[in-house]
Amino acid sequence: MNGISLKEFLSGLLQARIESLHERWIPERSPPSKDGIERLIGSMCDPDRLARRLEGMDPFCKDLLKEFVASPDGVRTHEQLLRSAAERGVPQQALEARLEELADMGLVFPLEDDRWDRYRRPAWGLGRELVTPLQELLRSPGGSEREGEGPAEAGPLTLKAFLGDRHFRKTRRGDGDEETREKSARHARQAYKLFLMPGAIRGRLRRLAAEDRCLVETTAYRFGGLLPRTLAERALDPEEGALLGPELGKRLEESLTGTWRNLDLRAYGIDLAEPTLILFQEITLALLRRRASEGERIPAKEVVAGVDLATNVMRFLRYVDENGVRYTVKGEVFKATQKRIQSRLVTVEGGEDPEGIFRFIFRFCRQRRWIDRSGERTFRLGAKGRSFEALALPDKLRDLLAFAVEDPDLGGDPFHQTHLRRILLRLLRRIEPGRWYDAMYLPHLARNTYLSQLDALGVAEWFAAAKAQGRYLRYEDLVQMSWHLFHWVRHRLHLLGIVDLGFDEGGMPVALRLSDLGSSLLATQPAQGAEGARSTLVVNPDFEILLFPEADAFELVHTLDRFSRRRSSDRVFRFQLSEESVRSALADGMTLGEILRVLSERCRTPLPQNVRFSIRDWGDRAGILYLGEDGRLRTRRREVMDALCANSRVRELCGERLGAREMEFGDRVSRDEFRRLVRDLGFHLESGRPPESSSSEDRN
């Protein structure tokens, strides 16, 4: 590489500056002698000492060094550096501070005097002797050194990366011509596929010593394939912990199972900078899959949420619409009101607590503008709020899921957790629906997948820019990342009904499975079950509804929740019809015809006459209006028409009254506008003619 040597840079420095660098780089602290500059250059180019300088270095400083290393002559103008800093969102003051920091260490030098007239100034330069060692060190995420073996990479986390690195080390020396190197690379790719075969993995694990194999399985099952030294000291027996070290790493590398490396992920906002036992991600996945296939872990207790969250959002909006909800100066709902709302929510024993459900629903409705603040310090149903009830159930759940993915309320760094949640959802699509898996199976796999994609996702650049801007950053360790993700699965995906949870006898969550609802929502199988697997109802004369669930139960459960009160959610769902529940459904935009059609089509036996009559009677008392194709507005009760005609705005828009229960609609207003008008007055508009009444009073 053409460029400026360290000797050229150092020869122009003052003696005091040379002494300062001498103290930094030469541990003996001996005063400079005739060969002082040569000794200083040798120490600065020593990979071990360079690696120690890079440990704990600001990520943006490392990015600057990468720019100098990539430059053909190791020189970057101030204008170029400013441009790249602006692209990362780093202010000019922060850039200049980092350059001064690198200059104090002697890693870069300002090109200030007449010796550098051939360069465009102002500019900075890197000594050409530092290029090669820095290239080696800066290829790794953290620029750390391998314990006991000098500088090394902070990975690799995958077998593919390990084999690629081994091939790179062999071919970068220039062994053979280009054709030979290409043939070697092709052979490495083919070998990788062979190494991934389940039989090959089992064979390599069997050939490990018994104590090594036991430690590998413990690392996979308990810690997800990554075991830092400090965690091992706390969690492992002294005998197991004594195995950790470079020698174990060599044995695992020889068996293509894992490695022992100094893993420094601080540049990525992860609190880890220490020697770590790394099982290659492919090996961890194979071990976890094998454990899942050896025998399904049936939990002592199952907890299924189903469509409860969509129902609870509906009930919350219904309460706000009917009552209005006053809020405090801080914009929070009063505790007494919150408890009344919580008493109306559907809850499952062992599931999310009512207060947690309420907080999530409240934030969701505020963020989506389903509810708005009024001038009277009261929450009212917003203009968009009425549209939620009209959405199809899958659309409601997908909207809730999108909000849950971005929800920062469950702990952990939001930047990391949002990426982890999206990865976990992709992994969730690949598991078998209805089968129980270990509770930490998906969180561990999602974390490992995320760690292997840190560079591709630009995580280091994001954290460097955030740090340069002075933002507060939360650093998570490997254990916290997995547990925060599982906390989200338990309190969000389970709440949405996407996963079911399994608990042991002590009440601890130990297993999870992809539910039929989650499988449908994530599009891993059709929404409806096989032909013939159709849920049915039994409607009793005492207005109790029994639902016998099949594959399509979640749609029907949500529909029944709209116009009846759910009493239990065991193997048979129980609902109770009442005038209040029917009135609420009508207020939410459901028609009386839809209610009767659901009950009639899904009922195993004919719908009891008293139930049919009562539903219609409740609808009449709620103020149902029927608008026919002939342009006439009708009711089944005279008092409903009397109350409607008492409104001056209705009389202005409609024609003359034609009888006790009939009037002309006219063409002064559209049907949608009239529907909104009468809804505000407490009436409900339906299309068609009213059914024949059996009441002599109604026929008058």
> What is the tens place of the pLDDT at every residue in 628-640?
877 788 888 888 8
Residues, the chain, total? 700
State the pLDDT at residue 21: 84
Most confident of 15-24, 228-237, 373-382: 228-237
Residue whose token pair is 């009425």? 386
State the pLDDT at residue 185: 62
Nearest 10 degrees: Cα torsion 159, 206, 218, 430 = 50
Q: Which of 646, 644, 663 is nearest to 655 (CA)?
A: 663
Mean pLDDT in residue range 479-498: 92
Quickly state the pLDDT bin for 488 (edges 50, 70, 90).
very high
Q: How far is CA 488 from the centre of its chain?
A: 8
Mean pLDDT in residue range 31-59: 74
Quickly state the pLDDT bin for 331 (edges 50, 70, 90).
confident
State the pLDDT at residue 258: 92
Over the range 570-593, which residues count as b (16 or more CB within 10 Å of their CB) and which as e?
eeebebebeeebbbbbbbbebbbe
Quickly state the pLDDT bin for 141 (edges 50, 70, 90).
very low
State the pLDDT at residue 169: 52
Quickly state the pLDDT bin for 470 (edges 50, 70, 90).
confident
Contacts of 348 by beta carbon, 8 Å cutoff, 6+ apart? 303, 304, 305, 308, 569
pLDDT at 377 exceeding the cut of 90: no
Neighbours of 18 (CB within 10 A): 17
Lowest mean per-residue pLDDT among 74-78, 108-112, 169-173: 169-173
Lowest mean per-residue pLDDT among 23-37, 435-449, 584-598, 623-637: 23-37
- What's the pLDDT tens digit per position in 34-47? 456 888 888 888 87
Angstrom CA distances, 669 to 272, 325, 486, 520, 664, stand at 68, 33, 54, 42, 12
More confident: 37 or 488: 488
- What's the pLDDT tens digit per position in 230-258? 899 888 888 888 889 889 989 999 999 99
Quickly state the pLDDT bin for 177 (edges 50, 70, 90).
low
Lowest mean per-residue pLDDT among 109-123, 247-261, 604-618: 109-123
pLDDT at 129 exceeding the cut of 50: yes
Lowest mean per-residue pLDDT among 96-105, 382-391, 422-431: 382-391
Long-range contacts of 523-532 (CB under 8 A, 24+ apart): 523/429, 524/429, 524/433, 525/433, 527/394, 527/552, 527/555, 528/552
| Domain 6-138 sits in CATH 1.10.760 | no
Quickly state the pLDDT bin for 27 (edges 50, 70, 90).
low
Mean pLDDT in residue range 503-511: 88
Tell me what percent of the residues of the chain surpass a pLDDT of 70. Answer: 87
Q: Six-digit token pair at 623?
A: 């103020």
State the pLDDT at residue 142: 37
Distance CA 700, CA 694 (A): 12
Looking at residue 603, what DSSP letter applies?
Answer: B
SS3 assignment, position 140: coil
pLDDT at 149 exceeding the cut of 60: no
Mean pLDDT in residue range 464-481: 83
Quickly state the pLDDT bin for 190 (edges 50, 70, 90).
confident
Angstrom CA distances, 340 to 16, 325, 334, 348, 516, stand at 76, 11, 10, 18, 32
SS3 assignment, position 262: strand
State the pLDDT at residue 551: 62
Mean pLDDT in residue range 409-414: 84
Q: Six-digit token pair at 221?
A: 């099952």
- What's the pLDDT tens digit per position in 432-447? 888 899 999 999 999 9
Quickly state the pLDDT bin for 526 (edges 50, 70, 90).
very low
Quickly state the pLDDT bin for 145 (edges 50, 70, 90).
very low
Lowest mean per-residue pLDDT among 170-179, 209-218, 219-228, 561-570: 170-179
Q: What stretches of 295-353 show up as alpha helix (H) in DSSP?
A: 308-323, 335-344
Most confident of 72-86, 343-357, 508-522: 508-522
pLDDT at 279 exceeding the cut of 90: yes
Query: Across the chain, what does the average pLDDT equal?
Result: 81
State the pLDDT at residue 657: 81
More confident: 682 or 699: 682
More confident: 123 or 351: 123
pTM above 0.75, yes or no: no
Most confident of 214-218, 530-534, 602-606: 214-218
pLDDT at 151 exceeding the cut of 70: no
SS3 assignment, position 565: strand
pLDDT at 306 exceeding the cut of 50: yes
Distance CA 587, CA 385 (A): 13
State the pLDDT at residue 167: 60
Phi then psi for 480, rounded to 5 degrees?
Answer: -60, -40
State the pLDDT at residue 180: 62
Mean pLDDT in residue range 42-71: 81
CATH 1.10.10 residue ranges of the chain are 6-138
SS3 content of the chain, % helix, strand, coil (to 5): 50, 15, 35
Distance CA 17, CA 22 (A): 9
Tell me what percent of the residues of the chain surpass a pLDDT of 90. Answer: 15
Mean pLDDT in residue range 108-127: 79
